Structure 1
Amino acid sequence: MIRSVVLDIGETLTRDDRYWGSWADWLGVPRHTVSALVGAVVVDGRDNSDALRLLKPGFDPDAEYAAREAAGRGERLDESDLYDDVRPALGALRDLGVRVVVAGNQSAKAGDMLRALRLPADLVVTSAEWGVSKPGPDFFHQVVGAARAPAEQTLYVGDHPQNDVFPAARAGLMTAHLRRGPWGHWWADDETVRQVADHSIGSLLELPGLVDRSRGSGAPA
């Protein structure tokens, strides 16, 4: 039975277009260049910030982030960054009595901006606010606490196998791999991902149906 649903943020709730585009603009390179390099380093098993280090040797993410903020070119997020299915899906989950938590690897500022959107969620929190990040086990320990339900009754939803599906499964959570964004599409048909993920979905609007089926009120999964 699914009692709580916890959702990743980037490329699960929000598009990453603005995030990576703003870094490209800050570094003075074409946006396509950054997008292509981010894809290359992640598929190569490296951290996505390595893409920016390729463009600027010695790149310090924290220092550059602070410089952007000081220059008035810092992080931005608003309603236009949300995928269209976010509000209806989260609202439907809450109507079913499910606790909805949003938790991903983002800055504290991103947490404030997301909360300002007043999403239909019981809690919105980021890794910077917790002081732990994915794929570390401490992050998912925090997830279980935030869910206020046993791990085996909590569904973690995300697009990235290495950051979302695999570590959530190791923590005993149920998992749903979302076919969205570059990583969601790249690994959607990967055999290992299919074996580990309890569910594979193409839209957040499928989540209320998963909850219904987990309660025995729908067709078998």
Structure 2
Amino acid sequence: MRAVVFDVGETLVDESRLWLRWADRLGVTPLTFLGAIGACAATDRPVEDAFAIVRPGIDVAAEDAAWAADDPAGLRNGFDADDLYPDVRPALTRLRDSGLRLVIAGNQPPRALTALRAMDLPVDVIRNSAELGVEKPDPGFFAAAAELAGVIPEQIAYVGDRADNDVLPAADAGMWPILIRRGPWGYLHAQRPQSTRAKIIDSLLELPALLG
């Protein structure tokens, strides 16, 4: 291995606060909204469907814009350094010190890219699907990630929490897939037979020894 590419949500960033803020915004209990997200994860529905479950007919983009107008200085539908999982910085530091090239690349909106770059993480490149012009699981995304890493796919480990969006298309692209078992998708997808194509870990701190 010469490089590692990381997904963002529930790989590096704990999205709990984000979803709890949305539950409050939508006027439902945290359990209700988190349950809807879990149902979407279990049935392979897009997470956007969770909004329609608790508020049929909602225009999420319009609601987000209204939220921004109500609270222009607030965190709202986003994250910051306080939402990083505690193993992120030490794991990235050890991997970087071992000589690996580190890339963060996920399906994220522009505001997430700004937030990630403000965290001063010990990585070489941070990009998102908006900048790359293609989203996972499209093979073009993984081709772009390999170009960012600067090595052939066979020399890249791709770390993510989903089988469908992360590890399976990464494996198809020739990368070494690693599924991290956290977040609703991570725990569910780790139990699926197709995830045997990936190495399953419970912490990013396992990576230095795994890739050493």
**Hey, what does 1:69 align to over in structure 2?**
68
Q: Does 1:172 align with 2:165?
A: no
Paired with 2:186 and 2:100, the residues of 1 have a C-alpha distance of 24
Match for 1:185: what amino acid?
Y
Q: Is the 8 A contact 1:152 1:172 kept in 2?
A: yes
Q: Give 5+ residue unaligned stretches, structure 1.
A: 213-221
Paired with 1:69 and 1:129, the residues of 2 have a C-alpha distance of 23
Q: Is the 8 A contact 1:41 1:48 kept in 2?
A: yes
Give the TM-score normalised by structure 2.
0.93
Distance 1:81 1:60, change over 3 A: same
Distance 1:65 1:140, change over 3 A: farther
Paired with 2:2 and 2:98, the residues of 1 have a C-alpha distance of 9
Comparing 38-47 with 182-191, greater Cα deviation is found at 182-191
**Alignment root-mean-square deviation, CA:** 1.4
Distance 1:67 1:162, change over 3 A: same
**Hey, what does 2:40 align to over in structure 1?**
41
**Hey, what does 2:25 align to over in structure 1?**
26
Q: Is the 8 A contact 1:75 1:110 kept in 2?
A: no
**Hey, what does 1:90 align to over in structure 2?**
92
- How far has the Cα of 1:5 moved from its partner? 0.2
Distance 1:69 1:142, change over 3 A: farther
Query: Which deviations, in whole Å up to 9, do the C-alpha atoms of 1:7-56 show, x marking residues without a partner?
Result: 11111101110121121111111111111001102211210110101122
Paired with 1:25 and 1:54, the residues of 2 have a C-alpha distance of 15
Paired with 2:184 and 2:41, the residues of 1 have a C-alpha distance of 10
Query: Which deviations, in whole Å up to 9, do the C-alpha atoms of 1:135-189 show, x marking residues without a partner?
Result: 2222212111111110110110011111111111111211101111121112223
Q: Is the 8 A contact 1:135 1:162 kept in 2?
A: yes
**Hey, what does 2:209 align to over in structure 1?**
209
Alignment of structure 1 residues 61-210 onto 2, 5 Å: 61-72=60-71, 73=74, 74-194=76-196, 196-197=197-198, 199-210=199-210
Distance 1:13 1:144, change over 3 A: same
Look up the SS of the partner of 1:132 in the other structure: coil
Paired with 2:138 and 2:67, the residues of 1 have a C-alpha distance of 28
Aligned length in residues: 209
Q: Is the 8 A contact 2:37 2:50 kept in 1?
A: yes
Paired with 1:193 and 1:53, the residues of 2 have a C-alpha distance of 29
Query: Which deviations, in whole Å up to 9, do the C-alpha atoms of 1:102-141 show, x marking residues without a partner?
Result: 1111111011011101011111122223232112222212
Look up the SS of the partner of 1:119 in the other structure: coil
Q: Is the 8 A contact 2:5 2:103 kept in 1?
A: yes
- Percent of aligned pairs sharing the same letter: 47
Match for 2:210: what amino acid?
L
Paired with 1:46 and 1:186, the residues of 2 have a C-alpha distance of 13
